[in-house]
């Protein structure tokens, strides 16, 4: 391997190879080119001292940035501002925009729409539909999304005879299929809902179990990721099949009896307290692959409608990893697990060279002063949603965020430009 001299050397207490230790990192052309106790060279040397904790940039594999078609709720600029201010240096955006991303032309149109407007690096999913041109789409997407349950956008594919040929084509590409794993045949449609308990009744956990049983036939042929897991049995079953799993903060924090209003309405639903607590124990035991926020903003006006007509979805890309870092500070969660679930595993699962402080990876860093605990203030968040169900909860926000060697957040404030790149070109 040809040695590349660093342009910049970053020095400080870094998370490398599973532990925090003093490290120097050489950066050139946005990549990490050297890592060691002492790194020579560099026109610029940045010494972060011993008070800062330098982690790899986090990656959110599941966001809905609503762009194009629903930009009153969010757009790529505001959504990625939110991401970087929460320590997230790369987001993977879901395809249920308007129009939905189901073919090559629509995908390329969306790429043109968002290019030059993102503060974080990003990838764009394509949705699976009958006769989906998967082989054509695969080089241009980090993964595909299968909606077995109805949700915002109505890109539903829940017929086994239609799913099978598409999965066979994707198997040949090696791409991941992230699944909204709720069997729509077991969801009650048209029955009025007045609170989260009603929503839970109409979207029972059996819908998730049924979806997993039907997906089991693909365990030896396809790479499958189960989105927004709501319960421990689902996590265990998915893991036993070799599937990877995501968990959201809202399924870990909220329950349908205590959190009743449409602010907490989401798909799949928040469940009862016992289910939530058992899911949290899965987290603590390290049984879940990664965090995925399912950042799904709607306007406060929309969420303030009567429950039945209010849309489902909760914003979370700016608050999730700061809340995780507060768990680390408080001793609830280990640093190794936080980095593994927030950075290493998403990068590995979706084949993006991010998530580790190692040679060859993008020079992305989320840098924290773990002494600076704050309460989440929804007025200071960057999402167009303008509200957060986590308002008032404790968090540790990043002091500095660097993407491919460029500072995007400094002293907790956005200072960068929309330099984000498409990870699939």
The verdict on whether residue 202 carries a ligand-binding annotation is: no
Cα separation, 66 vs 72, whole angstroms: 8
Q: Which of 75, 103, 121, 294 is catalytic?
A: 294
95: closest CA among 128, 125, 65? Answer: 125
The verdict on whether residue 64 carries a ligand-binding annotation is: yes
The verdict on whether residue 180 carries a ligand-binding annotation is: yes
The verdict on whether residue 251 carries a ligand-binding annotation is: no
DSSP-assigned states of every residue in 7-57: SEEEEEEEEETTEEEEEEEEEETTEEEEEES-----SEEEE-TTT-EEEEP
Q: Is the dihedral of CA 78, 336, 410, 46 positive or negative?
A: negative
The verdict on whether residue 21 carries a ligand-binding annotation is: no
- Residue 411 CB neighbours (<10 A): 8
Cα separation, 53 vs 367, whole angstroms: 6
Six-digit token string for 58: 């986090």
Six-digit token string for 93: 């955006």
* 103 counts as catalytic: no
* Cβ–Cβ < 8 Å for 292, 247: yes
Q: SS3 helix, strand, coil % of the chain, rounded to 5?
A: 30, 20, 50
Cα separation, 231 vs 205, whole angstroms: 8
Cα separation, 289 vs 300, whole angstroms: 32
* Cβ–Cβ < 8 Å for 289, 26: no
89: closest CA among 412, 297, 317, 370? Answer: 317
DSSP 353: S
The verdict on whether residue 294 carries a ligand-binding annotation is: yes
**Cβ density class 306-332: b for 16+ within 10 Å, e for less:** ebeebbbbbbbbbbbbbbbbbbbbeee
The verdict on whether residue 298 carries a ligand-binding annotation is: yes
Three-class DSSP category at 346:
helix
Cα separation, 191 vs 208, whole angstroms: 20
Annotated binding site for Zn(2+): 62, 64, 145, 180, 228, 294
Query: Which residues are known to be catalytic?
Result: 294
Q: Per the annotation, where are the binding residues for substrate?
A: 64-66, 96, 298
Annotated binding site: 62, 64-66, 96, 145, 180, 228, 294, 298
């Amino acid at each position: 391997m040809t040695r590349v001299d660093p342009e910049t050397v970053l020095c400080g207490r870094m998370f490398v190879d599973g532990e925090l230790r003093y490290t120097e990192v050489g950066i050139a052309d946005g990549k990490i080119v050297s890592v060691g106790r002492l790194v020579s060279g560099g026109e610029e040397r940045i010494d972060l001292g011993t008070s800062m904790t330098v982690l790899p940039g986090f990656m959110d594999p599941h966001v809905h940035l609503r762009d194009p078609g629903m930009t009153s709720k969010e757009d790529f600029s505001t959504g990625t501002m939110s991401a970087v201010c929460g320590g997230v240096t790369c987001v993977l955006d879901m395809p249920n925009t308007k129009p939905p991303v189901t073919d090559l032309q629509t995908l390329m149109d969306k790429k043109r729409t968002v290019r030059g407007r993102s503060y974080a690096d990003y990838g764009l999913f394509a949705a699976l539909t009958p006769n989906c041109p998967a082989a054509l789409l695969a080089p241009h997407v980090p993964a595909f999304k299968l909606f077995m349950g109805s949700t915002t956008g109505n890109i539903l594919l829940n017929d086994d005879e239609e799913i099978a040929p598409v999965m066979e084509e994707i198997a040949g590409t090696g791409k991941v299929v992230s699944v909204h794993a709720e069997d729509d045949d077991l969801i009650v449609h048209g029955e009025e809902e007045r609170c989260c308990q009603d929503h839970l009744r109409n979207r029972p956990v059996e819908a998730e179990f049924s979806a997993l049983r039907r997906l089991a036939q693909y365990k030896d042929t396809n790479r499958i990721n189960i989105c927004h897991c709501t319960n421990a049995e689902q996590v265990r079953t998915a893991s036993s099949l070799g599937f990877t799993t995501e968990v959201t903060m809202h399924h870990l924090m909220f329950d349908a009896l205590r959190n009743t209003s449409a602010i907490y309405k989401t798909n799949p639903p928040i469940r009862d307290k016992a289910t939530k607590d058992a899911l949290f124990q899965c987290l603590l035991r390290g049984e879940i692959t990664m965090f995925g926020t399912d950042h799904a903003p709607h306007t406060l006006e929309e969420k303030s409608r009567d429950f039945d007509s209010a849309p489902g979805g909760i914003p979370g890309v700016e608050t999730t990893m700061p809340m995780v870092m507060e768990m680390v500070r408080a001793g609830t969660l280990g640093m190794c697990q936080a980095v593994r679930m927030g950075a290493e595993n998403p990068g590995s699962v979706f084949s993006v060279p991010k998530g580790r402080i190692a040679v060859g990876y993008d020079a992305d860093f989320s840098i924290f002063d773990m002494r600076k605990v704050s309460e989440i203030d929804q007025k200071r968040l960057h999402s167009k949603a303008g509200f957060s169900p986590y308002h008032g909860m404790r968090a540790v926000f990043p002091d500095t965020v660097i993407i491919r060697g460029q500072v995007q957040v400094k002293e907790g404030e956005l200072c960068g430009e929309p330099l984000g790149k498409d990870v699939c070109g």
